[in-house]
Amino acid sequence: MSVAQIHPAKPAPASVDARPMTPQARILSFMPRKPAEGSLARLPQLLRQLGESLLPPLITLAVLLAVWEVLCSSPTAPLPPPSRVLTESWQIIADPFYRGQGTDQGMFWQILASLQRVAIGYSLAAIAGIALGVLLGQSQWAMRGLDPIFQVLRTVPPLAWLPLSLAAFQDGAPSAIFVIFITAIWPVIINTAAGVRNIPQDYQNVARVLRLNGFEYFGRIMLPAAAPYIFTGLRIGVGLSWLAIVAAEMLIGGVGIGFFIWDAWNSSLISDIIVALIYVGVVGFFLDRLIALAGRLITRGTATA
């Protein structure tokens, strides 16, 4: 996630002619050069576009791997070079669906266990976060009473909650889920509240003239109007969840990518750690993209007025 996305950004100001969300506009921006005449003429251009977007990261990757290989090639190097990672960890790379005893599971199952914890904690955080955000956005008193407390609590690092939740739940599994929950909820609350506070007076007037009741107002006006903000919060939240789960699992143990990494460290399997890190990064990337995509689909009409 880039730095720019971490801020609870306001959705782009609505303007009449800029419609970045429409499918046409997206296709156009994909081909910034002048539009070609026929589909045949467009094919090479599409290929070039593909090359322009894929080639640079591939080259960067190749260079990085090469540098790494060279730097760690000496037998006394503390970290293995990529070639050795491949050979040493070939077993876990080749068979992600391997099932063994206890925590001895393939990468797929490790990731799946972590994702399950994240899914539960994050869903709870999304629901509670949106509900609390709506409360904060709607009520001056809730805002005054709760906001200062939330502003303090949200700065507590995720792992600092773990001992407390272990004491409260007496068990690792719910504690890890609670850590995810408490990590992801703050950006959701804060962004939802901002979205609800920023609902234009015009929409509220429309609702009042139509005499929409609370439920109708919530579903027809508030949620769609605040959706771009809510999804900004949800996207930050999912990134933080994934950051927190790895750390939490290192401490609670059991199947999961976090404990897998810790276990590999204790067994001095540095290559396995590197493979796991790649998995963690790729999965985190896709989680972020997933929420971004959901947000784009759901708020398609909202950003254009």
Partner 1 sequence: MAQHYLTLELVDKSFQRGGTKTEVLTQVSLGVAKGEFISIIGHSGCGKSTLLNIIAGLTPATSGVVFLEGKTVDAPGPDRAVVFQNHSLLPWLTVYENVALAVGKVFRRTKSRAEQHDWILHNLDLVQMGHARDKRPGEISGGMKQRVGIARALSMEPKVLLLDEPFGALDALTRAHLQDAVMEIHARLGNTMIMITHDVDEAVLLSDRIVMMTNGPAARIGEVLDVPIVRPRNRIELAGDRTYLKCREAVLKFLYERHRFVEAAE
Q: How far is the CB of 13 from partner 1 (least distance, A)?
A: 13
Verify binding: residue 305, partner 1, rule CB under 8 A. yes
Q: How far is the CB of 192 from partner 1 (least distance, A)?
A: 17
Distance CA 109, CA 99 (A): 8
Residue of 26, 48, 144, 208 interacting with partner 1 (CB under 8 A) = 208
- List of residues 6+ apart from 122 with CB closer than 8 A: 180, 181, 184, 237, 238, 241
Verify binding: residue 192, partner 1, rule CB under 8 A. no
Give yes or no for a contact between 122 and 180, defined as CB atoms under 8 angstroms apart.
yes
Verify binding: residue 19, partner 1, rule CB under 8 A. yes
The per-residue DSSP string of 111-125 comes to: HHHHHHHHHHHHHHH
Residue of 131, 206, 277, 294 interacting with partner 1 (CB under 8 A) = 206
Residue of 184, 221, 238, 261 interacting with partner 1 (CB under 8 A) = 221
Q: Coil, helix or strand for 270? A: helix
Burial letters for 189-211: b for 16+ Cβ neighbours within 10 Å, e otherwise? bbbbbbbbeebeeeeeeebeeee
Q: How far is the CB of 10 from partner 1 (least distance, A)?
A: 15
Stretch that binds partner 1, among 97-105, 107-115, 116-124, 199-207 (CB under 8 A): 199-207
Footprint (CB under 8 A) of partner 1, residues 241-300: 299-300
Residue length, the chain?
A: 305
Verify binding: residue 69, partner 1, rule CB under 8 A. no
CA dihedral sign, ordered 85, 89, 94, 96 = negative
Residue of 212, 251, 283, 292 interacting with partner 1 (CB under 8 A) = 212
Whole-Å CA distances, 280 to 87, 285, 295: 20, 9, 23
Verify binding: residue 143, partner 1, rule CB under 8 A. no
- Rg (the chain; Cα; Å): 24
Whole-Å CA distances, 175 to 54, 132, 133, 245, 251: 41, 22, 24, 11, 11
Residue of 211, 215, 266, 268 interacting with partner 1 (CB under 8 A) = 211
Residue of 12, 14, 58, 67 interacting with partner 1 (CB under 8 A) = 14
State the virtual CA torsion across 81, 86, 88, 91 in degrees, nearest 10: 160
Stretch that binds partner 1, among 2-10, 168-176, 181-189, 216-224 (CB under 8 A): 216-224
Q: How far is the CB of 300 from partner 1 (least distance, A)?
A: 8
| Angle, CA 41 vertex, CA 36 and CA 45 arms, to 5° | 75
Q: How far is the CB of 208 from partner 1 (least distance, A)?
A: 4
Q: How far is the CB of 233 from partner 1 (least distance, A)?
A: 18
Residue of 53, 91, 139, 205 interacting with partner 1 (CB under 8 A) = 205
* Contacts to partner 1 by CB under 8 A: 14, 16, 19, 22, 200, 202-203, 205-206, 208-212, 216, 220-221, 224-225, 227, 299-305
